[in-house]
Amino acid sequence: MEIALTIGFVGLLVFLAHLFAALFERTRIPDVLPLVILGLLIGPGLKLITPEAFGKVGPVFTTVSLIIILFQSGLGLHLATLRESLLPGIRLTVLNFIGTMLVTAAIAVLGLRMSLLEGLLLGAIIGGTSSAIVIPLVRHLPVRVETRAILLLEATFSDVLCIVTALALIQAARYHELRPTLMLGQLIASFLVAAIIGALAAFFWSATLQRVRHLENSMFLTPAFVFVIFSIAELLGYSGAIAALAFGIVLGNIQSFSLLALRDLLRGQAVQLTQAEEAFFSEIVFLLKTFFFVYIGLSIRVANIKLFAIGLGIVVALVLMRIPVVWSALGKIARGLDGALAAVMIPKGLAAAVLASLPLQAGVRQGAIIQDIVYAVILWSIVGTALLTVLIEKRILWRSYARFFPAEEGEGSLPANARQEGDG
């Protein structure tokens, strides 16, 4: 009976996901929100399913979702857009991360009597944005391609920044020693080496792809190869997420490279993915995204109402802090609707959820409080991002944000080309 109910629920969930996607097209309410709420109902609400019921499968599934989402996003990112978006993306990532750490530490020290180190640790854990949430959300919003790429890069880069910084601060809390030069070296190596691994793998796979296609049921081989690349990068101590994104970017732009020597070395002709293969990956992303958001919802823990309210206060502070960060980091790029929507993209997700329990496991004094607050921030940041996106796009909050992100003269509040790109 339980197996039959589980299978029936999975089928119903897929139908609901398509319904929520259709509602998004009509109402612009992101399908992220009802999926997370559904997870909250069947998890913390009714306690029908708990994250522990999935055992080790749950974390593996969320990581698989992240890999495929990053890979598919990289396929659609053109080199010209990447060149224009890379520096603004790095500026936004760094400024938002530093701002989040400082604001969160101030609230933690003044409101929760945490030490400065514990407050900075809490800020580092929630200092990024979630790729798995930002990418599907931004894809259907009426923003320019450059803005979409900047938000994608921020979400990917910030995960690495959160992990390296949080682990360094946990070590500092345990051994009373902080080594910033080592932390900086780990960050640079994690970014650069992972990107090189992903790029070289893309050249190899492009040269091999023509032969692979002759095999039966070969469509699954490309995502399987992405998993292998992710694992190699992680096992070597670098960012698997960056490697997966770089693999997608290079494979999607393989015809733009003129590395003839490398092609000759591999003895193959560089080829790109077909439209059928890209459509297949889109279907996989849709299914994985559906279950990912429900899993995030049922993983939220509401253990302490006071800490849950403090989590809401932190999210409100981060929303306000994000406005000057976007304005200063993006400059003219952040104008009109692009700037307003970029200013509300603060959802926390997989990286924060994974890091939440580490301070408690490491014996940090306020580890349990940090864990509860992180879960509250994850929930409120997702809900806040989804609702603020709707309110800005429907022009309900547009005037408030237009003071900080005015449209250029003659542009209007919504560029026509942005609407076409967002709906595409």
At 114-158, the pLDDT tens digits run 999 999 999 999 999 988 788 888 887 888 899 999 999 999 899
For 317-338, write each residue's pLDDT tens digit: 999 999 999 999 998 888 888 9
List, as own/partner pairs, every contact residues 162-166 make where C-beta atoms lie below 8 angstroms and the sequence separation is at least 24, other chains included. 162/97, 162/124, 162/125, 162/126, 162/127, 162/128, 162/351, 162/352, 162/355, 163/351, 163/355, 164/190, 165/97, 165/101, 165/124, 165/127, 166/121, 166/124, 166/125, 166/355, 166/358
Domain positions in the chain are: 2-423
More confident: 409 or 295: 295
The pLDDT score that the predictor gives to residue 340 is 92
Residue 199 has a pLDDT of: 92
Cα–Cα distance, 56 to 53 (Å, whole number): 9
Structure tokens at 222: 């490309």
Kindly state the tokens that stand for 250. 């290079």
User: What pLDDT sits at residue 264?
Assistant: 46
Of 328, 334, 341, nearest in space to 408 by CA = 334
pLDDT score of 112 more than 50: yes
- Residue 305: the pLDDT is 86
CATH class (in words) of the domain with range 2-423: mainly alpha
Nearest residue to 233 (alpha-carbon basis) of 200, 278, 279, 210: 200
* Whether this model's pTM surpasses 0.85: no
Query: 101 and 123 in contact (C-beta within 8 Å)?
Result: yes
pLDDT tens-place string over residues 74-102: 888 888 888 889 999 999 999 999 999 99
Q: For tokens 């930002």, name the residue.
A: 134
Angle between helices 2-27 and 32-40 (to 10 degrees): 150
Q: Of 353, 416, 417, whose CA–CA distance to 162 is shortest?
A: 353
Cβ-Cβ contacts under 8 Å for 126 (sequence gap 6 or more): 100, 104, 162, 314, 318, 348, 352, 374, 377, 378, 381
